[in-house]
Amino acid sequence: MAERKRKLHGIEPFDIVNVCILTLLMLVVLIPFYFTVVQSFMTQQEYIMNSTTLWPKDPTLGNYRDIFVASTMLRSFGNSVFYTVTGVAFSMFLTTTLAYGLSKKDYPGRALFQNMVVFTMYFGGGLIPFFLLIKQLGMIGTRWSIVIPTALSVFNMIILRNFFEQLPPDLDEAATLDGASPLRIFWQIDLPLVKPAIATLVLFYAVGRWNEWFYASLFLGDARLWPVQLELRQILWSSTSFASEVPAEVGRPSFSEGIKAAAVMVTMLPIMMVYPFLQKYFVKGVMIGAIKS
């Protein structure tokens, strides 16, 4: 009888412990976000008092006001949108065409092209020759230095190639007999068939582009072209306090730690807004990648 009851409810002590551990881990993930939110709404007075604060007594939007008044966050935000949109478009152009070409069978030079592409996953010129190349191409200081040179992820391309390879070949043959040009077959038949993979790759590329700061820091001296991550990095790491540049509101000193936290929140916002809704596509993407490679 007792045995049957346990089966009915099916809850063992392990289940309870498990839920507790996993919930605790969730808190560990969330805590840094929580305290950054708290700090972004804090005033300087409260922060320096060093009291124990789990929520600001007197929440303020002042820090958010300060980043938008004094910093060029809005401009860099716009730059990042530009880099993300044009960058993803260019990345997808290269990725789809190359993946499609490589997926074709039986053309002279196939092995050469395949090996040429895969080799770059194992060996590269490294940072300095790459930097000097961009310099020699005259791209330094231009928006193109961010959009073009890092556009192709071989890993993403191979995922897509595997998808194209699995399309039934009779499909193309039938379409060719019907008089469709190869370009039309690519655009109107084959590409729509791999739509789920395309969606995932767009997401991966977009996140990568949005998070880009490193090459921007090497290639772009002019802060007017900076993406938002580089702007944020400047706010977080600048030795001269950013807060001193903020025109003060009457009766409220600007507060550098609060501004930093607010800047982190603003930069994170786009990913935070879309991630819960798109998570399943990301997950699908990694599963596809795992199974196929």
Site for another protein in 55-84 (CB under 8 A): none
Q: Tell me how far CA of residue 16 lies from CA of 9, 21, 25, 73, 290, in angstroms.
A: 13, 9, 14, 46, 32
Give me the residue label for tokens 């990913």: 271
Q: Which of 91, 286, 275 is nearest to 196 (CA)?
A: 286
For another protein, give the closer residue by CB, 115 or 250: 115
Contact 256, 165 (CB under 8 A): no
Options 67-75, 194-202, 210-218, 244-252: segment touching another protein (CB under 8 A): 210-218
Using the rule CB under 8 A, is 111 a contact of another protein? no
Using the rule CB under 8 A, is 279 a contact of another protein? yes
Least separation in angstroms between CB 250 and another protein: 26
Distance, CA of 204 to CA of 214 (rounded, Å): 18
Q: What's phi and psi for 66, nearest 5 deg?
A: -60, -40
Options 60-68, 70-78, 87-95, 240-248: segment touching another protein (CB under 8 A): 87-95
Using the rule CB under 8 A, is 86 a contact of another protein? no
**Residues 78, 141, 182, 221: which binds another protein (CB under 8 A)?**
182
**Please, which residues have CB within 8 angstroms of residue 43's CB and are 6 or more apart in sequence?**
56, 58, 60, 62, 252, 255, 258
Q: What's phi and psi for 249, nearest 5 deg?
A: -80, 150
**Residues 67, 73, 102, 146: which binds another protein (CB under 8 A)?**
102
For another protein, give the closer residue by CB, 40 or 246: 40
What residues between 246 and 265 interact with another protein by CB under 8 A?
Answer: 257, 260-261, 263-264
**Residues 7, 108, 177, 250: which binds another protein (CB under 8 A)?**
108
As to burial, measured by CB atoms within 10 angstroms (0-12 exposed, 13-18 middle, 19+ buried), residue 165 is middle
Contact 56, 74 (CB under 8 A): no
Least separation in angstroms between CB 66 and another protein: 16
Using the rule CB under 8 A, is 287 a contact of another protein? yes
The one-letter code for the residue type at 69 is V
**Residues 6, 21, 61, 241: which binds another protein (CB under 8 A)?**
21
The one-letter code for the residue type at 165 is E
Options 58-66, 69-77, 230-238, 246-254: segment touching another protein (CB under 8 A): 230-238
For another protein, give the closer residue by CB, 79 or 229: 229
Using the rule CB under 8 A, is 100 a contact of another protein? yes
Distance, CA of 267 to CA of 211 (rounded, Å): 9
**Residues 67, 70, 147, 232: which binds another protein (CB under 8 A)?**
232
Helix (H) or strand (E) holding 43: none
- For another protein (CB under 8 A), the number of binding residues is 94
